[in-house]
Chain A
Amino acid sequence: MTELEKALRAARDKGRKLLVPYVTGGLGPHWIEALMAMAAAGADAVEIGIPFSDPVMDGPTIQEASARALEIGATPPEILTALERSAVGVPLVAMTYYNIVFRGGHRRFAHSLAAAGVGGAIIPDVPLEELDDWAPAAAAAGVATVLLAAPVTPDDRLAELCRRTEGFIYGVNVMGVTGARPSVAGSSAMLAKRLKAVTDKPVLMGFGVSTPEQAVELSTEADGVIVASALMRILLDGGSPEQVGDVVGAMRTALDRG
């Protein structure tokens, strides 16, 4: 079992709902501070976006965050170096697109993640059928390969995704791209139930989680939530790392209250 999964299981098994906020690596001078604020506010792990020029699974906010980070010169090595120098204190999971991994070289990229203290990777454009280059390289470096499941994923495929995922299974709440939404989709609870029925691994739901109320609602069936666009919106609009930490803290409090 990967270190990431051990940590998430341990927290979950204590009865805690998991909270995994996201930050785009290289987004301005304060992204590491935002990451630290998230950890301090009670994140169980933090997802670090390694920006890609063509993020097809992302909505306007993460697109903007990625584009801005790239404009000011963010690169995978610089982001990972910055992480390596920071003692965050919670598990880190990278999120990027496959061409970044492919170009970097599967083994080299996996080792660079491990060296930076990143224990898992989410690569949303790698389907089950195309895992055979990445997953073994990641495993050799001790990096968990986190897979995503969608509301339209058929049952047999869902079971296979849960079997092969490491760290946790990432349930995609809605058919659509990332981004804040006014309400929780009905597809979310259904998917969370289906996932919980076939796996004991932590089930985290993401896409469109923007308020403490939504975080609570979405983690009723699931083990926790991933929050991204709502936090990046704050940074993009000039908000401070402290403000980001406050929102994460409010979600933490709401989740702990249940």
Chain B
Amino acid sequence: MPESLVPACVQLEAAFRDAWASPDFHQRLDALLRDYAGRPTPVTECGRLSAELGVRVLLKREDLTHTGSHKINNVLGQGLLTVAMGKGRVIAETGAGQHGVATATAAALFGLECTVYMGQVDIERQALNVFRMRLLGAEVVAVKSGSRTLKDAINEALRDWVATVETTHYCIGSVMGPHPYPWMVREFQRVVGDEARAQCRSLLDGADPDYVVACVGGGSNAAGTFAGFVDTSARLVGVEAAGGAAIGRGVPGVVHGSKSYLLQDEYGQVSEAHSISAGLDYPGVGPEHSYLAATGRARYVAADDGEVLSALQLLARFEGIVPALEPAHALAWVMRAARTGELPAGSTVLVTMSGRGDKDAEQVMGILER
């Protein structure tokens, strides 16, 4: 992290520590999560899909939150912090647009100015979310440098932040970036895992699921989900996009303020990720995932674009739920692993349905009806 941003990170860490230890902050955040975001989200038992796959599939339904993805959990927390720090503007990066929409939503709710950086490639494939952000009063800036996707949107947001840090909070959307972000964002997302754990125990007569599966780009929904299960015997599985598998194919690197697995060349130049899913089109991954992978507590696998499209259609037809392309990666692995027997027949599998598929409908239509 550049020296110019160190004071802001120090200030943010102090603000978060204070807030996280304050019953008043938790009360306000919990009220927003309940009354504004629509929490708790249910865990849905997938009867027909389970019969088809031979494993018992439960979905944690973050797709049912306000704005349609788990991203709302984090932005409400960071929105409250922004106000507490006396800053009047937020900036954010976005890939699929879900975090951008969530940030724009929180900015409207808290009366903050908002600028969202989005790669030109993503703007083209997520036009609906771009419109939603503008409708919510945010300025959306097209990033035309580098690969013109999420990584470059983060670069541009950091460049904005260096110039505006005294009045602007950078609302990072995933468990990445410099300290305290990976920790703070995980804490704001752990509501997903904490709720799911209690809900699973109620559904499973006090037991935990055998497997807990979530998609991983930067890894915020997986981090939040895993936080609820890391001290249980559930096996944790993170599913990366085959074209952006930082843990699967990367080596350690340092970019955007954290050390983690990173897709890069032999000289340390960061590679471009390639995925059907804009939200997973990122060459890095949150450092805690690298840690969980290195210690073996979680396993990281990959799903390719083709199996992701199949999974999306399967869930739509068997359960009446159209997932976003990101969580369709988690489902795709479950489908494959159930078929190959890697998931033993009869296992119970919790999958975090991190977002709904509306934003991807146009893109998927373009592919399926081509």
Binding site for B on A (CB under 8 A): 52-57, 59, 63, 67, 70, 75-77, 98-104, 124-125, 127-128, 147-154, 157, 161, 172, 174-177
In chain B between 263 and 279, which residues have their CB closer than 8 angstroms to a CB of chain A?
264, 266-270
Find out whether the CB atom of B3 lies under 8 angstroms from the CB atom of A127. yes
Q: Mark B6-17, 1 if CB is under 8 A from A, else 0.
A: 111000000000
Please give me the residue from chain B that is nearest to A78 by CB atom: B267
**Which of B159, B165, B269, B270 meets A152, CB within 8 Å?**
B165
**Which of A53, A98, A125, A154 meets B146, CB within 8 Å?**
A53
Residues in B whose Cβ lies below 8 Å from that of A153: 3-4, 6-7
CB of B294 within 8 Å of the partner chain: no
CB of B162 within 8 Å of the partner chain: yes
Find out whether the CB atom of B253 lies under 8 angstroms from the CB atom of A124. no
Residues in A whose Cβ lies below 8 Å from that of B162: 56-57, 175-177
Find out whether the CB atom of A54 lies under 8 angstroms from the CB atom of B146. yes
Find out whether the CB atom of B269 lies under 8 angstroms from the CB atom of A127. no
Q: Is the interface of B mostly helix, strand, loop or mixed?
A: mixed
Q: How far is A156 from B165 in the complex, measured between Cα atoms in Å?
A: 20
Find out whether the CB atom of A102 lies under 8 angstroms from the CB atom of B146. no
CB of B1 within 8 Å of the partner chain: yes
In chain B between 58 and 102, which residues have their CB closer than 8 angstroms to a CB of chain A?
none
Given contacts A54-B146, A54-B151, A177-B163, contact A70 B4 (CB under 8 A): no
CB of B2 within 8 Å of the partner chain: yes
Find out whether the CB atom of A148 lies under 8 angstroms from the CB atom of B146. no
A96 to chain B, nearest CB (A): 9
CB of B311 within 8 Å of the partner chain: no
Please give me the residue from chain B that is nearest to A151 by CB atom: B4
Q: How far is A57 from B1 in the complex, measured between Cα atoms in Å?
A: 9
**Which of A98, A99, A124, A128 meets B264, CB within 8 Å?**
A99
CB of B313 within 8 Å of the partner chain: no
Find out whether the CB atom of B270 lies under 8 angstroms from the CB atom of A147. no
Residues in A whose Cβ lies below 8 Å from that of B4: 57, 150-153, 172, 175
Task: Pick 15 A–B contacts, CB within 8 A, sort by A.
Answer: A53-B270, A54-B255, A56-B256, A57-B162, A59-B159, A99-B270, A104-B268, A125-B254, A127-B1, A127-B3, A128-B3, A150-B2, A150-B3, A152-B4, A172-B4
**Complex A-B, nearest 5 residue pairs according to Cβ-Cβ distance, in ascending order:** A103-B268, A176-B163, A150-B4, A53-B269, A100-B268
B358 to chain A, nearest CB (A): 31
In chain B between 218 and 244, which residues have their CB closer than 8 angstroms to a CB of chain A?
none
Residues in A whose Cβ lies below 8 Å from that of B1: 125, 127
Residues in A whose Cβ lies below 8 Å from that of B6: 127-128, 153, 157
CB of B202 within 8 Å of the partner chain: no
Please give me the residue from chain B that is nearest to A147 by CB atom: B3
Given contacts A98-B254, A149-B3, A152-B166, contact A56 B146 (CB under 8 A): no
Residues in A whose Cβ lies below 8 Å from that of B266: 103
Q: How far is A172 from B6 in the complex, measured between Cα atoms in Å?
A: 14
Q: How large is the interface on B (under 10, 10 to 19, 20 to 34, 35 or more residues)?
A: 20 to 34
Q: How far is A154 from B268 in the complex, measured between Cα atoms in Å?
A: 32
**Which of A98, A103, A176 meets B267, CB within 8 Å?**
A103
Q: How far is A8 from B162 in the complex, measured between Cα atoms in Å?
A: 29
Find out whether the CB atom of A54 lies under 8 angstroms from the CB atom of B155. yes
CB of B262 within 8 Å of the partner chain: yes
Residues in B whose Cβ lies below 8 Å from that of A77: 267
Q: How far is A186 from B252 in the complex, measured between Cα atoms in Å?
A: 40
Q: How far is A174 from B268 in the complex, measured between Cα atoms in Å?
A: 28
In chain B between 146 and 165, which residues have their CB closer than 8 angstroms to a CB of chain A?
146, 151-152, 155, 158-159, 162-165
Q: Mark B135-148, 1 if CB is under 8 A from A, else 0.
A: 00000000001100
Please give me the residue from chain A that is nearest to B159 by CB atom: A177
Please give me the residue from chain B that is nearest to A150 by CB atom: B4
A258 to chain B, nearest CB (A): 30
Residues in A whose Cβ lies below 8 Å from that of B256: 54, 56
Find out whether the CB atom of A102 lies under 8 angstroms from the CB atom of B3. no
Find out whether the CB atom of B166 lies under 8 angstroms from the CB atom of A175. yes
Please give me the residue from chain A that is nearest to B6 by CB atom: A127
Please give me the residue from chain B that is nearest to A64 by CB atom: B145
Q: How far is A124 from B2 in the complex, measured between Cα atoms in Å?
A: 6
Q: How far is A89 from B246 in the complex, measured between Cα atoms in Å?
A: 43
A192 to chain B, nearest CB (A): 16
**Which of B158, B165, B264 meets A56, CB within 8 Å?**
B158
**Which of B2, B165, B259, B267 meets A57, CB within 8 Å?**
B2
**Which of B7, B145, B166, B255 meets A154, CB within 8 Å?**
B7
A104 to chain B, nearest CB (A): 7
